[in-house]
Amino acid sequence: MKSCFAVSLSPYFFFFFFKTFSTGLAIKPGSYYCPNTTLFTPNSTYQSNLDALLSSLAFAASNSTNGFANATAGQNSPDQVYGLFLCNGDLGAVMCSDCVAAGTREILERCPNQRVSGIWYDECMLRNVTDVTLFMELLNSTLDDVATRASTGGSWKKVAVAQRDLTSSLKLYSFAQCTPDLRASDCDTCLQYGIDGLPSGNQGGGVLTPSCRVRYEFYPFYDASALRAPPPPPPAPAPPPPAPMTGPT
């Protein structure tokens, strides 16, 4: 049995876990990532929020029917922690719960007191980031940017993409597109409607309407090279020379 488990928090704190399951839970550590770039103080408000978040996710996993849940602990930045988990669709509830519980324990042992950290096993992944405010600011500014550029794209293609770094190893990918027959103002209105309709706190999402679409993910889902403008048309041929003047003989 295979699983995939993901927890996503803010741009500065993230975990990855991969594990393989057969008849039982096989916990064999793989590679882990602890860059020591940002630490939190032991017994601090941040640690209390982190512990509460991980406990909340582990509890949610034991009661989840679709292998997904999100949670937030703490009220204010920089101590607020937000996260989610996602298990593979073929993983049963018990194995998903075991994966989440094991991952939340292991990351604290491998990378103690670190806001940026990661662990990889075979197939189960957990990711966390902590500053929700900074993440939402980056997401909103990026979506506004692609909406503006798409709406002013002219009559050939009204489309724009963007890639932004959340951490040294986590990137945000955004996409916006309108049908080319829309006026710039109507395209922008449509895209802003889509942005407002995006699900809050999810690890990616998108909105489709009859005239536009907007989407963001933490993995590349578009081919940027195919979105370049076509080459300009060749110059028109030179006009033929004027006919020679003729007069009476």
pTM score of the predicted model: 0.47
Find tokens 């882990």 and name the residue.
32
Q: Cα separation of 30 and 115, whole Å?
A: 20
Find tokens 């027959």 and name the residue.
181
- The pLDDT value given to residue 24: 39
**Is the confidence at residue 81, as pLDDT, over 90?**
no
At the second CATH level, the architecture of 133-227 is: 2-Layer Sandwich (3.30)
**Is the confidence at residue 145, as pLDDT, over 70?**
yes
Burial of 174 (0-12, 13-18, 19+ CB in 10 A): buried
pLDDT in tens, 24-40: 334 344 456 676 667 88
- The residue extents of the domains of the chain are 20-130, 133-227
Q: Cα separation of 134 and 80, whole Å?
A: 11
- The pLDDT value given to residue 228: 63
- The pLDDT value given to residue 56: 87
Pairing outcome for strands 205-208 and 171-178: unpaired
Rounded mean pLDDT of 191-206? 83
**Is the confidence at residue 205, as pLDDT, over 50?**
yes
Find tokens 């204010």 and name the residue.
76
- The pLDDT value given to residue 196: 92
Structural fold of domain 20-130 = Killer Toxin P4; Chain A (3.30.430)
**Cβ within 8 Å of residue 97, ≥6 positions away:** 58, 61, 62, 64
Q: 20-130 and 133-227 share one CATH topology?
A: yes
Percent of the residues in the chain that have a pLDDT greater than 90, as a whole number: 20
